[in-house]
């Protein structure tokens, strides 16, 4: 089940200069040689895995949160359910979906989407609730309809919390997506698995893929901080 099966040519050692064969702490030469066939594609797959998961997760969480905002009684059961989902080990969840959807991207994405829902839903609900009762009352008094209150007052005020939820969701998804490599030969987790399968773990591959994963998480987070500036121009102070 690990990786793509036995037939894969392990690219780790390549043509192997002395740094690689001696497994020194870090070999820039290996990174240069294998950016094109290993690290680059893995990084790109990782970005795809993450974007799809957070995109679908948001598309599901947003309407659900609107519903829970309109009918507060729905929130409690969903909260309890999501707390339970959050305790499921990712390694186990990927495997448990295999009988239903096979060893496919669908399986990986269902699991990743599940984890993003747990983060996005409560954040969006909390955001929608951040408009003070007085403000909403005043808006009703001015004759705004319920939809207008939502789009002109509650949603703009919810933006900081929504972007905050997206930040956590993206960063955690980047992290969890490395585990997808237990199922598929995709994402930044895969080079790490290959490196661990060598007779002695190949350090350069572990470090380079690991640094890329962490850098991807930080990069996404910074992008969302930038997005926050755009959608919440009135709250420039703290990031």
Partner 1 sequence: MTLADAANLHTFVDAFRFIGDHPVFLLQKAAEQLELSGAALAIAMAATLPLGIALGHAHRGSGIAIAASIVGRGLPSLVLIAAFLTLLGIGFVNNMVALAVLGSGPILTNAYDAVAGVDRDTVEAARGMGMTWRQILAKVELPLAVPLLFTGIRVAAVTIVATAPIAAIAGGGGLGDIIVNQASYRLSGVLGASFCAMALSAAVFVALGGLQSAVTPRGVRRTSVNEVPERKESL
Least distance to partner 1, CB of residue 161, Å: 6
Least distance to partner 1, CB of residue 114, Å: 13
| Contact call for residues 86 and 115 (beta carbons, < 8 A) | yes
Least distance to partner 1, CB of residue 77, Å: 11
Secondary element (H or E) of residue 46: helix 40-70
At 235, list the tokens: 């709250």
Nearer residue to partner 1 within complex by CB, 100 or 147: 100
Nearer residue to partner 1 within complex by CB, 45 or 82: 82
Q: Which residues bind partner 1 (CB under 8 A)?
A: 1-2, 79-80, 82-84, 86-93, 95-96, 98-100, 118-119, 122-123, 126, 160-161, 164-165, 167-168, 171-172, 174-176, 178-179, 181-182, 188-189, 192-193, 195-196, 201, 203, 206-207, 209-210, 213-214, 217-218, 221, 235, 238
- Cα three-residue angle 97-98-104, rounded to 5 degrees: 105
Residue 196, Cα to own-chain centre: how many angstroms? Answer: 24
Nearer residue to partner 1 within complex by CB, 144 or 232: 232
Residue 208, CA distances (Å) to 10, 87, 114, 212 in order: 16, 30, 29, 6
CA quadruple 137, 140, 145, 150: dihedral sign:
negative
At 219, list the tokens: 């990069």
Nearer residue to partner 1 within complex by CB, 65 or 137: 65
Nearer residue to partner 1 within complex by CB, 51 or 96: 96
């Amino acid at each position: 089940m690990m990786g793509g099966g036995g037939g894969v040519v392990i690219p780790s050692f390549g043509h192997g200069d002395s740094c690689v064969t001696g497994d020194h702490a870090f070999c820039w030469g290996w990174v240069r040689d294998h950016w094109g066939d290993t690290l680059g594609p893995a990084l790109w797959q990782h970005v795809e895995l993450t974007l799809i998961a957070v995109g679908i997760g948001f598309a599901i969480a947003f309407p659900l949160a609107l519903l829970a905002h309109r009918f507060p009684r729905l929130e409690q059961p969903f909260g309890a359910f999501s707390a339970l989902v959050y305790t499921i080990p990712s390694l186990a969840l990927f495997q448990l979906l295999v009988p239903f959807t096979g060893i496919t991207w669908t399986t990986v994405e269902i699991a990743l989407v599940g984890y993003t829902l747990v983060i996005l839903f409560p954040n969006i609900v909390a955001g929608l609730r951040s408009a003070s009762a007085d403000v909403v009352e005043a808006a009703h008094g001015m004759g705004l309809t319920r939809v207008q209150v939502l789009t002109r007052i509650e949603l703009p005020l919810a933006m900081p919390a929504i972007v905050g939820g997206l930040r956590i969701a993206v960063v955690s998804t980047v992290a969890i997506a490395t585990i997808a490599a237990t199922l598929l030969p995709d994402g930044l987790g895969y080079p790490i698995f290959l490196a661990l399968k060598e007779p002695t773990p190949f350090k350069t591959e572990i470090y380079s893929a690991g640094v890329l994963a962490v850098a991807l998480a930080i990069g996404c987070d910074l992008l969302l901080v930038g997005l926050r500036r755009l959608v919440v121009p009135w709250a420039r102070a703290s990031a």
